[in-house]
Structure 1
C-alpha cells in the first residue's frame, strides 16, 4: 500500500519528530511504500492567496500552485497525519495543507450546491497527535483535531475507510516512561496498518 505521511512540526529534535519516526519505522516494517511529506522541511506555504481563493472553484487553475501535493494525495492509498495540537487545533501549516490541497476536484465535487466526496483512493486514515493539555481540557472544548480528523477528513475519503486516532494527552506532565510507551504503541499500530 502507498501511504502518504503528512508531518507538521518545525523541530527535528521534538517528541513529535520521534513519533513521526515511529510511524515511518512501523509502516516500513509492514512493507508499505511511504511518501513522507514533512511540511516544514519542504517549505510548504500554508497561506491561501487571494488569487487562489478567487479561482477556488476553477479546478484547472486552483490546483496549479499545489499540483505536486495534489498528485501525492491522489497517488496515496492511505493517509497518516502526525502533528502536535496547538491552541486546541492543528498547527497552521497542517490547516493550510487542507485549505490549499483538499480542493474541489481533489477531495470533493460540488454538484447542484451539494458536496460529493471524491478522495476514494484513501482507504485508511490515521492520526498521531500530541496534546499539551489533559484529555479533560481537550474534551471541554470539543477536541477539535480529533473531530476534524474523524469526521471532516474521514468524510471525504473512501466510505469504508478504516480510521485510527492515536492521541497522547498531557504532554506537559508526561514522564519518559509514558512517552516511551506511546512511541511503542505508535510503532506497533503502524506495523499492522
Structure 2
C-alpha cells in the first residue's frame, strides 16, 4: 500500500519524533511504500495567503501553489498523521496543511454547492498517532477537535469509505517512561498490522 505519513513537530528529540520513527520503521517493515511528509523538515508554509484565498474556488488554478503536495496526496492509498495536540487543536503547521491542501478540486467537488462530493475516494485507510498534554476527559470536554478532524472530517472526504483508527496518548504532562514505552510499542504493532 502507498502510505503518506504526515508528520508535524519541530523538535527532533521529542516523543512525537520517536513515534514518527516508529511509524515509519513498522510501515516499511510491513512492506508498504512510504512517503514521509515531515512538514517542518520540508519547510511547509502553512499560511493561506490573500491571493490563495481569493482563488480558493478557482479550479484548477487553485492547485498551482501546492501541486507537488497534491500529487503526493493523489498517489497515496492511505494516510497516517503523527502530531502532538497543542491548545486542544492541531499544531498551526498541520492546520495550515489542512487549510491549504484540502480544497475544492482536490479534497471535494463543490461545483454544486448544495451537493458537495468527496474527492479522496482513493484513500482506503486513515490513521493518526497523537499525543495530548492533558487527560482524556479534558480533551473530551474541549470537544477533541483533532480526533474529529481525523475520524470524521477525513473519513467524510473519502466518501465514508476509509477505515480509520486513532491512537492517542493522553496526559503527557505526567507520563512515565514505562507508559511512553508501552504506547510506542502499541503504535509499532498497529503500524505492523496496517492494511
Aligned to 1:92: 92
**Runs of 5+ consecutive residues of structure 2 not aligned to the other structure:** none
Offset, 1:158: 4.7
What SS does structure 2 have at the residue aligned with 1:97? helix
Aligned to 2:41: 41
TM-score (norm 1): 0.98
| Contact persistence 2:80–2:126 (CA under 8 A) | yes
1:24, 1:158 → 2: CA distance? Answer: 27
2:164, 2:15 → 1: CA distance? Answer: 23
Offset, 1:43: 0.1
**Runs of 5+ consecutive residues of structure 1 not aligned to the other structure:** none
Larger deviation, residues 167-176 vs 145-154: 145-154
Aligned to 1:7: 7
Closer, same or farther: CA 149–99 of 1 in aligned 2, 3 Å: same
Closer, same or farther: CA 111–60 of 1 in aligned 2, 3 Å: closer
2:107, 2:171 → 1: CA distance? Answer: 33
2:76, 2:105 → 1: CA distance? Answer: 16
Offset, 1:36: 0.0
Offset, 1:60: 2.2
Deviation above 6 Å: which 4+ runs of structure 1? none
Between the two proteins, the alignment pairs up a number of residues equal to: 193
Q: Does 1:146 align with 2:132?
A: no
1:161, 1:144 → 2: CA distance? Answer: 19
